[in-house]
Chains A and B, each alone.
Chain A
Amino acid sequence: MEVIASYFKVIFDFGPNIVLPCFIFLFALALGTKPSKAIRAAIFIAIALIGIKMVVAFMGDNLGPAMKALSKNSGIKLDIMDVGWGAVAAAIWATPMGAIGIPVILIFNFVLLYFRVTKTLMVDIWNYHHLITVGVLTYYATGNVYLGFIGMLLAALITWLLADWAAPFLQKFYGLPGITMPTLSSISECLIAAPLNELLDRIPVVKDIRGNFGSVQKYLGVFGEPAVLAVFIGLGIGMMAQYSIKDSLNLAMNLAAVMIILPKVVAILMEGLMPIQEASQVFLQKHMSGREIFLGLDSAISIGHPSVLTAALLLTPFVLVLAAVLPGNQMLPFADITVIPFRIAFVVALVNGNVFRTLVIGAVVLVQILLCGTITSPVMTQIFLSVGGKIPEGAVGVGSFSGGSLFVTYAIMQTLSFVVSGIIISAIVFGLFLLVAKSQARKAVALMEAEEENTYAGVKNSQG
């Protein structure tokens, strides 16, 4: 233990902007990437880490004082800054565990596939960060490296088993044979969605509501444009914080800048990881050919469905109001307000595109995200500070809709650090999920098949 701890410390001393690029360079070489390409990838990783830090600092400079004024002038005490999943991912990659996590999870996936524990082959290296986050959060919460790694592997195992479970209805709903999406930020919410959907199935009248939301896209489409959305949020915060018109407008424009620039710098991180992603994919697919596997891709491929976008547009203003009135919440949603589609994409498939049910379940999911995000924020903040991040004046910490806000992450981290309330809540949710999981997955597929049959009959009728 001591040895590992001191090893971590020595690595830490170089700073994350050096350590992660070096590791990525070596790892890329080991996977057979050309040195010129590996060097470029490594430098891009450093650029992304620096860039994300710059944008988040700018966000803090603007949002921090606004949060303070908001609390003083309107009594809304939201002092945890939502820095967004990208900033969380960058902070996680920047910890020593972040770099080591890639090969560890890769090998673990290999072993589980070999012993047929799972069918999911997660070639989407990019989203390993969600799994590594669980490890790093557990490590920081317990101070125990081993528990950290156990948390990471547990997260991977749960994610892949959930991906196996969800594969049939995801494949059918999105028309993607042979594919599943082991993206924790989307699949985690199935734990809550499945029991809730079972409940909705059993309530008379309610169970038949589908809802007609056809015009939502036309009238609320503006909430899908992040720049415009950020300006609205900025003006809203400014007004409630009793800023002058000049200050409100400036806050709004600065936040719009953050909303557009932040994803661009996070994309640089992706660019840096691409050689690793490509090489790992070739490696994994070569060694696993001939087996029945589900190719595990990024859940981003499921975000296009109209029901996903419609429900997300309605939930966006909802979460802003919710954040202000929800007892126990301290997080001010901002950077991650654009990832709501990712949190509900699998819910939409589970309920076969029913927007009404997606809204009901999505609302509960958002309550859970805000509360878990608030609870896990102190640990997240500690990680954020350790990799050179700064907490702006007026805020007490950072959070996001990712990291500890995801239920699986929260559950593992709280359980491994023996937080009794967390263990009880996790046991209840996992228990309810296991109770209904099989029938829910079967029902989802049956619903889609019935609909196909009807459409087919309809076509035949209109022809006849």
Chain B
Amino acid sequence: MAKRILVLCGNGVATSTVACKKIEEYMEKSKVRCEVIQAKIGELGSYVDKVDVIVLMAMGASLPDMANKPLLIKGLPFLTGMGLSDILEKIKQHIQKD
């Protein structure tokens, strides 16, 4: 089953679209299969324990306890470009595991 990456932002429209597209492009180039889900922060509850990576475009959010311990990524580099390749690589390595 393809690993699932959840991208959360304030409205599920602008900043999360940027992150989603960049993740999809990178994974496609690296030939890694995954499913990228775009949602707004209030919808997080519906995805608890159902995703492997959470990319948070909203800073300062408090996340509930998640039993499956997803990889948490702060998404700021998607907007500033600084350190972007590092976090994309980190996501890739996480979803390639097992």
> What residues make up the interface of A, taking CB atoms closer than 8 Å to B?
86, 123-124, 126-127, 173-176, 179, 221, 223-226, 263, 266-267, 270-271, 274, 277, 281-282, 285, 295, 297-306, 309, 338-339, 341-342, 345
Judge if B93 is at the interface, Cβ distance under 8 Å. no
Chain A residues whose C-beta falls within 8 Å of the C-beta of B56 in the assembled complex: 304
Interface SS of chain B: mixed
Among B1-31, those with CB < 8 Å from A are 8-18, 21
How many residues of B sit at the interface, in one of the four size bands? Answer: 20 to 34
- B21 contacts A274, C-beta separation under 8 Å: yes
Chain A residues whose C-beta falls within 8 Å of the C-beta of B80 in the assembled complex: 123, 179, 295, 297
Bound CA span A300–B17, Å = 12
Given contacts A304-B58, A342-B10, contact A270 B41 (CB under 8 A): no
Within the complex, which residue of A224, A298, A304, A342 is in contact with B61, where a contact is CB–CB below 8 Å? A304
- Known contacts A223-B42, A271-B21, then 8 further A-B pairs from the complex at CB < 8 Å, ordered by chain A residue: A221-B45, A224-B42, A225-B43, A225-B46, A270-B17, A274-B21, A298-B14, A305-B58
- B38 contacts A305, C-beta separation under 8 Å: no
Chain B residues whose C-beta falls within 8 Å of the C-beta of A274 in the assembled complex: 17-18, 21
Bound CA span A48–B16, Å = 17
The 8 A-B pairs of least Cβ separation, nearest first, read: A224-B42, A304-B61, A303-B10, A304-B58, A300-B10, A305-B60, A270-B17, A300-B15
Chain A residues whose C-beta falls within 8 Å of the C-beta of B58 in the assembled complex: 300-305
What total of A-B pairs shows CB separation below 8 Å?
113
Judge if B67 is at the interface, Cβ distance under 8 Å. no
Bound CA span A378–B15, Å = 31
Judge if B72 is at the interface, Cβ distance under 8 Å. no
Within the complex, which residue of A124, A302, A341 is in contact with B59, where a contact is CB–CB below 8 Å? A302
- A298 contacts B79, C-beta separation under 8 Å: yes
Judge if B81 is at the interface, Cβ distance under 8 Å. yes
Bound CA span A86–B14, Å = 10
Chain B residues whose C-beta falls within 8 Å of the C-beta of A305 in the assembled complex: 58-61
Judge if B68 is at the interface, Cβ distance under 8 Å. no
Among B32-77, those with CB < 8 Å from A are 38, 40-43, 45-46, 56-62, 75-76
> What residues make up the interface of B, taking CB atoms closer than 8 Å to A?
8-18, 21, 38, 40-43, 45-46, 56-62, 75-76, 79-81
Given contacts A176-B76, A270-B14, A270-B18, contact A224 B59 (CB under 8 A): no
Bound CA span A176–B58, Å = 11
- B43 contacts A300, C-beta separation under 8 Å: no
Within the complex, which residue of B14, B38, B41 is in contact with A304, where a contact is CB–CB below 8 Å? B41
Chain A residues whose C-beta falls within 8 Å of the C-beta of B8 in the assembled complex: 304
Minimum CB–CB distance from B48 to chain A (whole Å) comes to: 12
- A297 contacts B79, C-beta separation under 8 Å: yes
Chain B residues whose C-beta falls within 8 Å of the C-beta of A266 in the assembled complex: 13
- B60 contacts A304, C-beta separation under 8 Å: yes
Chain B residues whose C-beta falls within 8 Å of the C-beta of A270 in the assembled complex: 13-14, 17-18
Within the complex, which residue of B40, B45, B60 is in contact with A302, where a contact is CB–CB below 8 Å? B60
- B10 contacts A301, C-beta separation under 8 Å: yes
Bound CA span A174–B58, Å = 10
Chain A residues whose C-beta falls within 8 Å of the C-beta of B57 in the assembled complex: 300-301
Within the complex, which residue of A174, A267, A300 is in contact with B60, where a contact is CB–CB below 8 Å? A174
Chain A residues whose C-beta falls within 8 Å of the C-beta of B21 in the assembled complex: 271, 274
Given contacts A274-B18, A297-B80, contact A304 B59 (CB under 8 A): yes
Chain A residues whose C-beta falls within 8 Å of the C-beta of B16 in the assembled complex: 267, 300
Chain B residues whose C-beta falls within 8 Å of the C-beta of A86 in the assembled complex: 13
Within the complex, which residue of A174, A263, A301 is in contact with B15, where a contact is CB–CB below 8 Å? A301
Minimum CB–CB distance from B88 to chain A (whole Å) comes to: 15
